[in-house]
Amino acid sequence: VQLDFAAREVTIKLVYYGPALSGKTSNLVALHGLAGADARGRLMTLETQDDRTLFFDLLPLTFRARDGDVSLRIKLFTVPGQPIHAATRRLVLQGADGVALIADSRVGETQHNAEAFYDLKKNLQTNGLELSKMPLVIQFNKRDLPDVRSEEELGELAARGKEPVYLAIATQGVGVVETLVGLLHLTWEKLDRTHNLSQKLSIDGDSLLSNAAHQLGESAPVSAILAKRMGGTRKPRQAVR
């Protein structure tokens, strides 16, 4: 995180992690398409080979609070999923404020998802970060494909787990905003706790979040967006009356 109280700017780094070809880049492409022209920057894709990310993708998003006074600058990164790019993954994770683990819903990919998670844990450790303290959401992508793990199974596991879980079809833009808003929500809460941001910037985190969702073309209230998650430590908040 970079905090610039004079310019009233908060810069947050979020990393989309996951096994090779699970749809990390597709998430960014979808967000780029959904974000308003005011919010989105250019999607930077660094060197691809056969549709595979070599270094990372970077999508800058800038959300302004309702009064336009505070800017929330978000740098969304993806990592290359293939095992040989371990060094790159570790580098991209440096200074991450939150992580979305993009998993492939297909039954056959279960092992790869688990490996990616262990890899994430190890690389965070190498960077001096603790997984348990890192804002983390999990997205089960590719819900439109055959042979995917059932929603009941994932829901049951999510309820027992710690992290919010989202279902998505990134190529169709389904679930990507929910995933990002969910991650932003956790990340803001964590940063607010550590840096007292709401007070220092005299800003309401919820309104910032709802502005972000709005600029991503999502008109539903934040609580409704957050409610789409499965599991998560806290119970989803009640929809606004």
Q: Hunting for tokens 């974000």 — which residue is that?
A: 35
Gap between the Cα atoms of 238 and 213, Å rounded: 18
Closest approach, Cβ 98 to other proteins, in A, equals 14
Number of residues that bind other proteins (CB under 8 A): 34
34, 121, 127, 161: which one binds other proteins (CB under 8 A): 127
19, 22, 27, 56: which one binds other proteins (CB under 8 A): 56
141 DSSP 8-state letter: E
Residue 224, helix vs strand vs coil? helix
Gap between the Cα atoms of 12 and 34, Å rounded: 20
Residue among 88 and 207 whose Cβ is closer to other proteins: 88
Closest approach, Cβ 109 to other proteins, in A, equals 26
52, 71, 122, 190: which one binds other proteins (CB under 8 A): 71
Cα→Cα distances 120→8, 38, 73, Å = 32, 33, 24
28 DSSP 8-state letter: H
Site string for other proteins, 78-117 (x = CB under 8 A): --------xxx-xxx-xx----------------------
Cβ–Cβ under 8 Å, residues 77 and 13: yes
Closest approach, Cβ 164 to other proteins, in A, equals 24
- What are the two backbone dihedrals, phi and then psi, of residue 185, each rounded to the nearest 5 degrees? -60, -50
Given the rule CB under 8 A, which residues bind other proteins? 1-7, 11, 13, 41-42, 44, 46-47, 55-56, 58, 60, 62, 71, 73, 75, 86-88, 90-92, 94-95, 126-129
